[in-house]
Amino acid sequence: MESKRKWRWGVHRWIVLLLLILGIIGVNNFAPVQPHIQAAAEKLTEEPLFSLPVIGDFYFVNTFTSMLLTMAIIIGISYAVKRALANGEMVPRGIAGVMEMAVEALYNMTEGTTGKKWAKKIFPWFATILLVVLVANLTKLLPGYETIGILHPSEHGYEVQQLTSGIATVVNTKAHDGEGYILTPFFRAQATDLNFTLSLALISIFMVQVIGFQAQGPRYLEKFFNFRTLFSKPIFGFMDLIVGLLELISEFAKIISFTFRLFGNMFAGFVLMAVIGVLIPTFAPAVVMLFELFIGLIQAYVFGMLTMVFMAQATQGHGGGEEHAAAH
């Protein structure tokens, strides 16, 4: 067994070395080109998919294809786990074993934070959001992301070199005759699209309010509109009212914070990869990709953990400690 493991590790080591050599040859023969960087997702179709009266046109953008890929990966993982469980294995192996350990660790974390009573209700939202953000962040490290796509004419674009029929590559030479091209990639990191991060933020904060109502009923609104002591104790009642309004503002601030925290970190990584790839194309991009892997893991964990903590806070009665002390 030991010799077999050493042989397999040796094969993997030679594969890594081969990829490094191919990478060096590639950047020397095809110098990296500074990609076209924009905050909005690029359109893959000239015509909109559909239009709505107030919102406007909806185009097929490259973050939508990334979303389809993310969903396909998650569905594939779910199918693999289902097959392993259907086989009746007492100890799941492979992806099923990894998912079992991950789910158990996340559920224990949820139970330790929210308590046993609300863990089963909060855990699905926490785990789902964490898994979606994690897969979306890690897929951007796949080969071909933001490098394979459609060439579009641009006055400020680059010259192209024909490889085969219908396939060309952009070369590191600015077009001077106004007939240059820029690349619109088929896939772009989902979290660099504000629509994705805003949607997750809205879902997260909306479900926080739902959990709060389920836990406390109509009394949950006292967290934001506390008129209970406004007339009996005017000074303290007015302070409670102001604090409630600040809590209401903070709920909307959470949406903005969630949206731009994830978007800002992932978009900054996208720009950093583009700049480093052009300036130092040989080894530095590999280091930056490892850093992006770390950032993707951290951002998924932070987004999911904040959702879980906010839901746990929503289940707690506002001012319950003071009422309990007054009763005694």
pLDDT tens per residue across span 32-77: 676 777 888 888 888 888 888 877 888 888 899 999 999 999 999 9
> What does the pLDDT read at residue 259?
92
The chain-wide mean pLDDT, for the chain, equals 81
The pLDDT-based confidence of 201 (bands split at 50, 70, 90) is: very high
pLDDT at 133: 94
Higher pLDDT, 85 or 32: 85
Amino acid sitting at position 47 = E
Cβ-contact 212, 314 below 8 angstroms:
yes
* pLDDT recorded at residue 29: 66
Confidence of residue 150 (pLDDT cuts 50, 70, 90): confident
pLDDT of residue 6: 47
- 63 burial (CB, 10 Å; 0-12 / 13-18 / 19+) is buried
Percentage, residues of the chain above pLDDT 90: 26
Max mean pLDDT range (145-154, 194-203, 233-242): 194-203
**Which residues make Cβ contacts (< 8 Å) with residue 91, sequence separation at least 6?**
97
Q: Is the dihedral of CA 283, 285, 291, 296 positive or negative?
A: negative
Are 174 and 27 contacting, i.e. CB atoms less than 8 angstroms apart?
no
Radius of gyration in angstroms for the set of CA atoms belonging to the chain, rounded to a whole number: 26
Instruction: Tell me, yes or no, if the pTM score tops 0.85.
Output: no
Q: What is the pLDDT of residue 284?
A: 66
pLDDT, average across residues 249-254: 90
Cα of 227 vs its chain's centroid, Å? 40
Secondary element (H or E) of residue 183: strand 180-185
Please determine, for residue 157, whether its predicted confidence score (pLDDT) is greater than 90. Answer: no
pLDDT winner (highest mean) among 43-47, 237-241, 261-265: 261-265
Question: How many percent of the chain have pLDDT more than 70?
Answer: 85
Is it the case that residue 289 has pLDDT exceeding 50? yes
Q: Which residue has the tokens 């746990």?
A: 312
